[in-house]
Amino acid sequence: MDSDSDETLSDENESTINSDELESTGSEDNDSLIEELNQTNARWARNGVTVAGGHGYGNATNQLWGPHGLFVDDDQTIVIADTYNHRIVQWRAGDTNGQVVAGGHGKGSRLDQLNEPTDVLIDKETDSLIICDRENRRVVRWSRRSGTAHGEVLIHNTKCWGLAMDDQKYLYVSDYEKDEVRRYEKGDWNGIVVAGGNGIGSGLNQFNGPTYLFVDRQQTIYVSDRSNDRVMKWDKGATEGIVVAGDQGQGNGFAQLSYPNGVFVNTLGTLCIADSWNNRVIGWPQGATQGTVIVGGSGPGTKANQFNGPMALSFDCHGNLYVVDRGNYRVQQFSI
């Protein structure tokens, strides 16, 4: 499957989702977020504010080109996989220009280069970036210290798409080509298959193009099974997954998804899903048979309440929602 061939680009209300507690992104605990979201129903403005990019596609420092994954740090710094610029860029809160923090030396396989990176996270323990360097079929680590000129390869031979790290510092990587998720311990970069790995398909033990993932404190893995138009939940040690959203055929009904990508789960089991081809972010309570639109859902477009292929999403420590709006070359923030 071509990695991007199926990514067609295509007034002040608020949306509600049950959010007593949001967990971390699977990378770091974020207890302050719980304090900010102590109300039963968190609400996000329907109109987003552009906090990165938004100046058309290009390689200037105020531009993005086909951005995919992102990570939001505790101080609201955003780190973005700027895919077709073959770089990772950092935008601090209020910045009008980003800073290249990895890659940016053209497309290539040297250690100072990237080739269509699709996800990134910050490893606080080592103060480094972990990057899914998709078309180089590797995962690399890149120090955040000033003057770092190149990265180091952690994992070889993986058509990686998404990354997550649990609070035990296990690294999880989705492989879009092998239709599996592997878990890696520090120092052991062979990893073990913890979801999928049974070939391409629609069975409960299979994926068809897994992209982004989320890991909770119980090491339960949630995976956007993109070409099956569903999100799967794999409990720790499970040999097959459970469908927790979608799997009703591709479509725009509230029980359907259309090429889901980014996924985030709160402690109540409610999912937030970047429903890419439907140009919306949808909330899906645990056990529900359908979801509710949180933001977007107004058709493809460039307005503040529209998306053009939303890819990844995350939250900051205040509960504000960030969405990578791939086809509009921007990141949108939706205030709580």
Length in residues, the chain: 336
- pLDDT at 279 exceeding the cut of 60: yes
Quick: pLDDT tens for 27-64: 444 444 433 343 336 789 999 999 999 999 999 999 99
pLDDT band at 317 (very low <50, low <70, confident <90, very high): very high
Quick: pLDDT tens for 242-267: 999 999 999 999 999 999 999 999 98
Give dist(CA 82, CA 161) in Å, integer: 13
Long-range contacts at 182-188 (CB < 8 A, ≥ 24 apart): 182/158, 184/154, 184/155
pLDDT band at 239 (very low <50, low <70, confident <90, very high): very high
- pTM exceeds 0.85: yes
Angle 21-118-72 (CA atoms, 0-180°, nearest 5)? Answer: 35
> In the chain, what are the domains?
14-334 (2.120.10.30)
Quick: pLDDT tens for 58-114: 999 999 999 999 999 999 999 999 999 999 999 999 999 999 999 999 999 999 999
Give dist(CA 187, CA 103) in Å, integer: 24
* The 310-315 sheet, strands edge to edge: 49-53, 330-334, 321-325, 310-315
Mean pLDDT for 270-290 is 97
The answer to whether 335 and 45 are in contact (CB under 8 A) is yes
Residue 48 burial (CB < 10 Å; 0-12/13-18/19+)?
Answer: buried
- pLDDT at site 101: 97
The answer to whether 89 and 82 are in contact (CB under 8 A) is yes
